[in-house]
Structures are given as C-alpha cells and as structure tokens.
Amino acid sequence: MNNEQEMHHHVVTSYKDAPTPTIAAGGVNFAYRELGPKTGIPVIFFVHLAGTLDNWDPAVIDPVAAKHHVITFDNRGVGASSGAVPDTIEAMAEDAVTFIKALGFDKVDIFSFSLGGMIAQALVVRHPELVRKLILTGTGPAGGTGIDKVAGTTYYDTLRATLTRQDPKEFLFFNRNATGKRAARAFVERLKERTVDRDAKISIKAFQTQLKAIKRWGRSTPADLSAIIQPTLIANGDHDRMVPSVLSEDLHRRIPDSELIIYPDSGHGGIFQYHEKFVPVALDFLAR
C-alpha cells in the first residue's frame, strides 16, 4: 500500500491529533481541521467570538467525529486564516460559503456557537440549499434584544479575567457559582489538550472587528427566520450573560418546528458544561 492509500485509510478520531491544512479560495488561505470518517454529510463547526481552531471543546468534537465527518475552520482574518475580518456577519457568512464550496461540498450540517450561530443564520437565509441541518447554540437573531451589549460585557469580563490572571471564558461562558467555576476550569483544561501545532491567537484588531459586526447585527432589521425549513436544534444555558438566553427562545419561536434545550444553572457555555447530556441529543438530531 503506498503512502497516499495509507493516508486515506487513516481516520483521525481525536481533535487534538487533527492536522491543520489550508485551502485557498476567494483570495483567502483558510486554515481548517478535519476528523472522523470521511463519508456522509460533513458537520461544519462555526466558532465563537475571538475563537480559533483551538477553541473547540474535544468533549463535544470527539464524540461527534466518532460518527460524522467533522470540519472546523478559521474564517477570513481569524487565527491562521489569511485576510482581514469583515465588519458584517453577512460577509462572514459569504466567506464561510466560499470555504465550504472550496472543499467541494454542496450540502453540509452546521454546528454553531455564539458568533458562529449568527454567521450560520445569515448563511442559511442566503444559501438554504447548502444546509441540511442546523445546530444553533449560545446565539441569537439579528435585531435581537441585548445583542448590541455583547461588546460591553465582553470587555468588562476580559478585564476582570486579565486582572485575576484567568481565562475570560471562565467569566463569559460560565456562572460564577461553585458549579460554574468547576465547569469553567474543566473546560479550560480540555482546551489545552492539544499541545502541538496550536493555532495563532486572534489579533486585537480582528476581535474588535468581530465585536463591531455583532453590534451591527444586534441593531439590524430582523431577518425572516420563518423561511428556515431546515431541522434546527437550539441550545443554551439559562443564564447567558453574553447573548441573553431569551434570544434562544426568540429563535425557537421564529424558526418553524425548531427544538429548544435550555440547561439549568449554566451560562453561555451551557453546552460545554452539560456536554455529557448535550452531545447525545445533538447526535440523535443529526442522525434522524
């Protein structure tokens, strides 16, 4: 068996071992990681504000990749992908489409979190034919109440974290009670699982541009989400300080036949805190 065939048979099953190739499309070199069996409809993961390839929780990614072809990517101007971050969510969605099509896919499932969920909504509204199923977590609709306050909360918690030498995500994604603090520490530890070939951190400028895009999205005219015919699973914690939990309920009301899960005693990172409960639900949803 030659090397190429061997490569073909080798299935990466854990996210920490997934290589980071790049693909050139639309003037951008997109960095991505791919794992799981390369069959069926792939699940593309859309990451959160300031997030890079290294911000996906292996406790969520690995079990999904045990059954699905999983792909994570850095959108334009993020992490190891080239170019400058666009200042609108819609432009970010177009970049994501460019990336997906460059890989040769004409139908994908999307697993999105936070800012990624906003990009996923913009994508599905503009390119419905590309998406089979949609998972929206820790996110909200355009024109959603309170989305424009994300920037303030983010800056405040980033400052709090910096002063206490903690990861901002411990404040932003989790409650500050005993349960939340424990879940936060476990999450941050899991993100350190990969030790080699770590992604470039997001630049301050890219981060600020993303915040500007979120603010604009929060203040824009709501899109007609009743047009979304794709099966949609919506999840969040009941106490999301970043993207208020009521926005998940708002999404659920607006997207026909969508399913909603709100986890108790948890925040923005509810799906990571409750990964043992959430992952089987997500897998069941994707398999149906």
- The whole-angstrom separation of Cα 225 and Cα 250 is 10
> Would you say 44 and 62 are in contact if contact means Cβ atoms under 8 Å apart?
no
Q: Is the pLDDT of residue 1 over 50?
A: no
**Average pLDDT of the segment spanning 131-145:** 97
Separation of alpha carbons 172 and 253, rounded Å: 25
- Distance, C-alpha 3 to centroid of its chain: 33
| Vertex 219 angle, CA 216 and 225, to 5° | 100
- Chain position carrying tokens 């998406």: 131
pTM > 0.85 = yes
Asked if residues 80 and 20 have their Cβ atoms less than 8 Å apart, the reply is yes
232 has a pLDDT exceeding 60: yes
* Spans of all domains in the chain: 3-287
Confidence band of 5 (pLDDT split at 50, 70, 90): very low
The 10s digit of each residue's pLDDT in 99-137 is 999 999 999 999 999 999 999 999 999 999 999 999 999
Does pLDDT of 10 surpass 90?
no
What DSSP string describes the chain?
--HHHHHHH----SGGG----EEEETTEEEEEEEES-S-SS-EEEE--TT--GGGS-HHHHHHHHTTS-EEEE--TTSTT--S---SSHHHHHHHHHHHHHHTT-S-EEEEEETHHHHHHHHHHHH-GGGEEEEEEES---TT-TTGGGHHHHHHHHHHHHHHTT--HHHHHSS-SSHHHHHHHHHHHHHTT---SSPPPPPPHHHHHHHHHHHHHHHHSPPP-GGG--S-EEEEEETT-TTTTTHHHHHHHHHSTT-EEEEETT--TTHHHHTHHHHHHHHHHHHH-
Superfamily, domain 3-287: Alpha/Beta hydrolase fold, catalytic domain (3.40.50.1820)
The sign of the torsion formed by the CA atoms of 115, 175, 277, 65 equals positive
Read off the pLDDT of residues 74-86 as tens digits, 9 standing for 90 and up: 999 999 999 999 9
